[in-house]
Amino acid sequence: MTLKTILIIDDSEAEQYLYQATINSLIEDVEILSAYDGVEGLELLASLSKKPDCILVDINMPRMNGLQFLEEYSKIYKDESIMITMMTSSIHPADKEKALQHKCVKDFFIKPLGTADIEQLIQYAEETKT
């Protein structure tokens, strides 16, 4: 099964652009949605009739960071079928531990993500969707 929709939640426009370009080069006909913080990400999710197959979430963002997003997401959405991957420039082990406490979090990457990281993420997401 091919990923149809991916939501990227990251406050960096440059990284959003990079990830979108890389994903578009690897998957045909994928819809990529963008949010620039956790609040915007939750608002976008609430407005969708069909949830994305995969969500990429940065940890360090203004207004609502990625860990706060996970807390709110877990309260609202009990469904764990959406694969959430955390992305961060933080090398603090506590960030990874806090993120992986949420069953919806399937992976954790140190930014910036390269093409190989995104290929790995896509492969894992497609394997878990079948």
Higher pLDDT, 17 or 106: 17
Q: What is the CATH number of the domain that holds 59?
A: 3.40.50.2300
Query: pTM of the predicted model, to two decimals?
Result: 0.91
Angle formed at CA 85 by CA 25 and CA 89, multiple of 5 degrees: 90
Task: Read off the pLDDT band of 124 (50, 70, 90).
Answer: confident
What pLDDT score was predicted for residue 25? 92
Task: Read off the pLDDT band of 1 (50, 70, 90).
Answer: low
Map tokens 């929709």 to a residue. 5
Task: Read off the pLDDT band of 19 (50, 70, 90).
Answer: very high
Type of residue numbered 105: V
Number of domains in the chain: 1
What pLDDT score was predicted for residue 111? 87
Q: Is the pLDDT at 127 greater than 90, yes or no? A: no
Tokens of 120: 């790995």
Domain span at residue 71 reads: 5-129
pLDDT 10s digits, 60-95? 999 999 999 999 998 888 766 788 999 988 778 888
Q: Which of 126, 96, 98, 94 is nearest to 109 (CA)?
A: 96
- Per DSSP, the residues of 60-88 read S-SSS-HHHHHHHHHHH-----SEEEEEE
Q: Give me Rg for the CA atoms of the chain.
A: 13
